[in-house]
Amino acid sequence: MPLPPFTESGDLPLGVHRAAFHEVGERFGSATPQRRRVFLRLERLYAIARGTGQLARMIVFGSFVTTKAEPNDVDVFLLMADGFDVSVATGETRLLFDHLAADAHFGASVFWLRRLAASEGEQSAVEYWQVKRDGQRRGVVEIDLGA
């Protein structure tokens, strides 16, 4: 199912919208030079997270998945398998799972937790990222890891 059109406010409609990674690039990562740069960051994050073999779900939210022409960064939430052990991660993988280091190194806001840590359930943890700073709600994109 293709990603839905934007609302009048420039956001995706409320919901968790699944898309293949290439669809995310086509829709959000090519309209401006800044969007291309930010998409390259997302591409790197995706490769590193997938490379752990422990990525369960990846949610992209924030200005990158809006009509904003010049998003500053990309915001992601990574839901990892229960067996994921960040203490054995090295190099860029270690940086990815440290919020401040990820911001400095990748230019991305990265949030993550293990499935078991989603105390109200994994779907609630995913849906949480639909809430904007002002309390309004918007849609988010879930990368289809099987596509």
Per-residue pLDDT tens over the stretch 4-63: 999 999 999 999 999 999 999 999 999 999 999 999 999 999 999 999 999 999 999 999
CB 126: neighbour CB atoms within 10 A? Answer: 19
Average pLDDT over residues 91-107: 95
Domain made up of 16-143: CATH architecture? 2-Layer Sandwich (3.30)
CA-nearest of 12, 23, 46 to 130 is 12
When pLDDT is cut at 50, 70 and 90, the band that residue 119 belongs to is: confident
What residues have CB less than 8 Å from 91, skipping those under 6 apart?
none
Q: What are phi and psi of 137, to 5 degrees?
A: -115, 150
Domain chopping of the chain, boundaries: 16-143
Report pLDDT for 45: 97
**Position 114 pLDDT exceeds 80:** yes
When pLDDT is cut at 50, 70 and 90, the band that residue 139 belongs to is: very high
CA-nearest of 64, 89, 87, 82 to 118 is 82
**Position 120 pLDDT exceeds 90:** no
Amino acid at 2: P
Report pLDDT for 11: 95
Share of the chain above pLDDT 90, in %: 88
Question: Tokens 């911001």 appear where?
Answer: 103
Q: Could you tell me if residue 85 is left (phi over 0), alpha (psi between -120 and 50 degrees) or otherwise beta?
A: beta
Report pLDDT for 146: 86
**Position 1 pLDDT exceeds 80:** no
State both tokens at 41: 């960051």
**Position 81 pLDDT exceeds 90:** yes
Cβ atoms of 127 and 16 closer than 8 Å: yes
Report pLDDT for 105: 95
CA-nearest of 41, 30, 24 to 144 is 24
Report pLDDT for 6: 96
